[in-house]
Structure 1
């Protein structure tokens, strides 16, 4: 362990140590001499030479120590401690406990789950997906250079970020042939159904939407004026210039998605952003949030003369992509294909900052100094 100063020039504040010395010297002759009449006839003798002395040594030493610690605090001392060079073993959530005895792991290794906070391996495994690659990069940056790192990975895992991580050390990447339940492919969701409602002035707009539904291979139902789809996974279309009924608005707030005509009035405080454009870049469809659901409105009438994209073969697919909820980029990876590599620059170990500890010590010494100073005043007044 070694001590260093980040701002050594601040030690110039040690010159303030002269202040308590001067104060104690100035206050040592606090008794005024008084002449007696009988002493006038005695023979005058030469006074002895005055010697330099200090009164109240404990208080003086305490003040000197307090100022020295203040100067050291200003210099920002840090402590470079001896790093822990024991190997570390991190286990991905999903690796069964039965697979650990078969692994030849270092006896003195530290064992943790590869999760946020690096919980100990004897703690329950985390139940939520973890950013595996981000945690590996953070762990590699925090470990001192030369510390062996062993990773027990499942055959497939969640938490990849699109590129193979490059670490500053060679790590022992071991793939355990087991797939956690969280990483199994989710069951395919059934296609959403389509519920349509149009008034007399928008009846022609139903034709392109029904054609798109046939291309999606989904069912189409008529939506009554005051009804709502039975499930929020469905897609409703309200093609009318009149406001939506309150039941339909509540259905959107619970997670549904509704298509509106270009002249349909919008609820208050709804911000829309384009999600579908034509070949020239003009917006054709806008989307906004309403509660937990989405509200989408066409910018043009659903007529080929106003929206030529309706006649193109790609219209159903592009509309389906605009209606689909925003998907996160894939984060599932194959452990054998995404093994981390070495070659990154090692990060220096962060020293331990001693300023907070010095601040506590300075506050304690200041309280003691005030107590000694006030006790001296009370004794002098008595």
Structure 2
């Protein structure tokens, strides 16, 4: 296993984080104009999104600043890019949560939010949670897709900018359909996740962060995202209950913000999907969170213009922050999960992209 050496790195972030421009503006409740009810039909610019190299530089600089943070390279992509995981482990006996982003390379804003969250863990406001919970963050599993460095044409993708972002990995394989295979038969990115994270660490909770299309609605209003626990018949009932608790923390946090409006995701029951297969294989409580709008796609209904970036990034940060706090203080074990019984499945408007 290759680990990144801790060295004294330059503290300047100049040129590293495009996310600064994304995440420093309308991130509070007054940003509802750019929230779920915003149509978002302006241009889609991939050039404002953090590149793989910028991500690596940012992670290395955060590691140099944060005493508890350690970077680990868990494997390589098809094209040979290192896959990084940020680790915050002070006491191995504490419960552990894993946050996973960009199994699909065209679903980037959750990665931008994960980067902000990693930075927040080094501040005085959130540092104390690390005494009670261990945190693992894989902020870009499908780096080849995120960079459009793939072995198939991308000219049918519609976003503008310096590159296209693809759902599949470089081999044109959907990484979120790999999870029922023998680990040795998986694509390199999925194999790295299983061999060097899921099999290596004792993980209690996992949130798998994705993006869905831009036209889903609940109760007649566009949603900011949707959530779902494991639905495979092979998942232990206790794991399903823990997954519902995880979802309850997220639901109550996001719905309370005014600009958040969540539905229940209508997902499949097969174990090849991460939310199901990981829960089945490892007894890890898992939650799928599908944020609204993708960064690039072949279908215009799936993408969302950058004026919505702010609230979607903030939604990711709030999701990660609220769950680690609930695990750290134990409140997750008492959270009310009854909302799942009445939460409607979101409806998809015509032309919607809805495949997790």
Q: Tell me whether the two structures share a fold, i.e. TM-score over 0.5.
A: no
Tell me the TM-score normalized by structure 1. Answer: 0.16
Give the structure with the larger helix fraction: 2
Tell me the TM-score normalized by structure 2. Answer: 0.17
Larger radius of gyration: 1
Between the two structures, name the one with larger relative contact order (CA 8 Å, sep ≥ 6).
2
